[in-house]
A and B are shown apart, each in its own frame.
Chain A
Amino acid sequence: MADLKVNIGRLELKNPVLTASGTFGYGEEFADFIDLNRLGGIIVKGTTLHHREGNAYPRMAETPSGMLNAVGLQNKGVDYFIEHIYPRIKHYDSAIIVNVSGSIVEDYVATAEKLASLDKIPAIELNISCPNVKEGGMAFGTSCPGAKSVISAVRKVYPGSLMVKLSPNVTNIAEIAKVAEDEGADSVSLINTLLGMAVNAETRRPVLSTITGGLSGPAIKPVALRMVWQVYNAIKIPIIGLGGIMNATDAIEFFLAGATAIQIGTANFIDPQVTIKVIEGINEYLDRHNLKSVKELTGALQVVK
């Protein structure tokens, strides 16, 4: 049994497998299928300062090797989370991380401040990359000044571990990652969904109510790997890689490209037990390759020059 522990700045995870926000509810939804205490971390549904109803149905389209979603951050707001959900999930022996989103900088700051008071939330993931909200979200994550404004403001009020979730809908993701590092983020997670679209040829209508939505699943894995590699070569803070990871081999590929930990997202919809299989598969890989720690894999891609 190899050592699966990893460090994300000051945050130690028992293993490098986390669940991606918006694909795992609050964890409880999966309690019938897996032991949640075995996960490295659970990143809960995107949380905003106020209640959000999300977008109209239809919010989902199946696409080749993936899916589009346009949920639009449906959630009951941070106060509801703190009062009703946090007490139910705080006992899990897994890092509970809250994904924080907003329309304006002040909302991100207010939400992060409230979460900072919770003992069992060691980190937040700052979502500056949601493609499904009209204001804010991705707008912050697609320009360096936008990213800087929200990250620096949240950093001032949030003393815990700050993970910044990056958008792939940019020309140069390394630039945005550098801004996150410079503004004091403890880590970056990438990638959020790629902006996409589905059309019904028979009805001549868009499939999603919002016309465009976020593409996820194995279809985006090559893009995600490329971006993790580019960011790994640009910054020093840890990277949490995600985008189409379906099994342990996919996870290993992300480590080799530069990720310290990974998140599993869309795969949870197809196999609610996939996270545990990935943890076991990583362990098996490490044993097979005579590696003592998963940390040895980060950035270990062998590039012939």
Chain B
Amino acid sequence: MKKYIKDLQVVNKQILSAEYYLLELSSNQPLPEVLPGQFAEVEITGSDATFLRRPLSVHDVDYDKNTISFLVQIVGKGTKHLANIEVGKILNVIFPLGKGFELIKSSENALLIGGGCGIAPLLYLARHLKKQGVKVSTLIGVRRSSQLIELDNYKKYGDVLITTEDGSEGTKGYVVNHPVFENLKQYKKIYTCGPEVMMKAIAKRANESRVDCEVSLENMMACGIGACLCCVTETTEGNKCVCTEGPVFNIHNLKWQI
């Protein structure tokens, strides 16, 4: 897929919680095709404390409005600086990058599992899956209920299931403690993004139940286009760049102990 470098304008910014914000960017030209699971490298304009771009998952693309949005968690200096950008300002963005999720066919069931900011790429995935007739369930795991964001958006595409570590909403515990794991075979495929320890636990259970499973990795990157070879993960075919061969990988192509 052709990659673009474009100046996009911030048309909407929503502070969702102390940690999360949503940026909606618009282009003066029609946006190129973006697949669910792909990401962008966003320039952190005017930040002395950072040097590199930041890779951000595509949260949603609205071709009617010609906007692309990113759900961002403040994790360091770059994402903190970006949180202060004002509506109307320009961000330089390289996109679409990486390979996306492999979609299943209509009338099959999909389980989408997001941990923390790992929900970011799942909204656009849910939108695509539903569009082609897949029954979507989204399981969201957070530490406490105050971290639950954007639930109504996910509900547009199917059921939303919740776990909280403190039990303040939904099932108490981690995502793998949710009752849905007692009958994983009802799903044709599991798609997940979040902390690696969570994805490994899910991969183990998916493997035991013989359910296909794709994970989206968040390795640290410099270039995002396969030039620096910094973001590699170990696969059955050796070290592969997460930015170009991923960020989505089938669990059987990774060398995880599951």
Contact = CB atoms under 8 A, between A and B. Distances in A.
Nearest to A72: B229
Interface in A1-51: 22-25, 29-30, 32-33, 45
Given A32-B4, A58-B220, A60-B222, A217 B230 contact: no
B220 A60 contact: yes
A272 interface: yes
A64 B233 CA distance: 26
B231 to A, nearest CB: 7
B151 interface: no
A192 to B, nearest CB: 15
A269 B222 CA distance: 6
Nearest to B78: A62
Contact of B52 (A33, A74, A269): A269
Interface string B28-53: 00000000000000010000011111
Given A32-B4, A269-B52, A69 B230 contact: yes
A67 B220 contact: no
B94 A272 contact: yes
B223 interface: yes
A269 B231 CA distance: 13
A270 B51 contact: yes
Which of A29, A45, A65 counts the most B-chain CB atoms under 10 A from its CB?
A29
A269 B3 contact: no
B225 A67 contact: no
B222 A67 contact: yes
A205 to B, nearest CB: 14
Interface in A39-97: 45, 53-54, 56-67, 69, 71, 74
Interface of B: 2-5, 43, 49-53, 94, 219-223, 225-234, 238-239
Interface of A: 22-25, 29-30, 32-33, 45, 53-54, 56-67, 69, 71, 74, 217, 266, 268-273
7 contacts: A53-B239, A54-B239, A67-B51, A268-B223, A269-B53, A269-B223, A270-B53
Given A56-B234, A59-B231, A268-B223, 15 more contacts: A23-B223, A24-B227, A25-B225, A29-B226, A29-B227, A30-B225, A33-B5, A54-B232, A57-B231, A57-B233, A58-B220, A60-B230, A63-B51, A67-B222, A269-B223
